[in-house]
Amino acid sequence: MRKSPFEWIIETLENNDKVESTTIISENLLHIKRTNGTLLSVTKSTLNSYNVASVREILNTQNANFILHIPKSPFISGDALDYLETKKITLGGFGDLTRVIKQENNWPYLPPNVSFILRGLRQHTKVISVNRLDNKRYEIARNGLETVIIIALDDYDLGIEAIRCAVDEFGKFDAVFKANPNGSITSKAIELADSREIKVFTWGELLGKLNLKWTWRQ
């Protein structure tokens, strides 16, 4: 018989030295008691897209500190991210859950890649502010230069399909940042991006470009 998501989590956390006990309270609520730290209440969701309304609906029915998304990479709107921050609640996958468990407190938490991007951009001398438009895109306001929107993609080998899906799902952005430092960017991906007047950058290339006027062909 196939295990439920909570049963699978309990089994996976069985030998985790940060966890004292796990208790399924209901079909949609799991309590995780840390060996040191506050109680973590987890609910789950099968949605593929989250906005403020859907997040509120979840939290109106479950008093949780963490919303576990079952689909691997759902869309999360910027308004939903802002709302979650005001409520000090995390919406993430199993990897995020295990990292939150390692903390003594449920909040604050950011995925490591998001924390890296935000810190790096905010430390840039030309950057005034960074706004998360959703879980993939960042709006970067620059001193004396145009505001630009980048999308961060985590693919190991960044190919044409990843670019095509990003354009279809997220629409407007000026550049793709390959957030995974390993792997490669295929020539086909670059060709497709060029045809949409979108540039593809590694981290170092992006930081350099942020110093300059945003000319697509440069």
How far apart are the C-alpha atoms of 212 and 218, rounded to whole Å? 9
Q: What is the pLDDT along the chain (218 residues), one digit of tens a residue?
A: 678 899 999 999 999 999 999 999 999 999 999 999 999 999 999 999 999 999 999 999 999 999 999 999 999 999 999 999 999 999 999 999 999 999 999 999 999 999 999 999 999 999 999 999 999 999 999 999 999 999 999 999 999 999 999 999 998 899 999 999 999 999 999 999 999 999 999 999 999 999 999 875 55
The pLDDT value given to residue 145: 96
pTM recorded for the entire structure:
0.92
Contact 162, 138 (CB under 8 A): no
User: Among residues 9, 15, 1, 51, which one has the least CA distance to residue 29?
Assistant: 9
> DSSP string covering 31-67, please?
EEEESSS--EEEEEE--SEE-HHHHHHHHHH---SEE
Ordered domains of the chain (ranges, CATH): 5-102 (no CATH), 112-209 (3.40.1350.10)
User: Dihedrals φ, ψ of 169, to 5°?
Assistant: -85, -40
The pLDDT value given to residue 216: 59
Q: To which residue do tokens 């604050």 refer?
A: 108
User: Dihedrals φ, ψ of 123, to 5°?
Assistant: -85, -10
The pLDDT value given to residue 3: 82
The pLDDT value given to residue 2: 74
- With 0-12 CB in 10 A as exposed, 13-18 as middle and 19+ as buried, what is 143? exposed
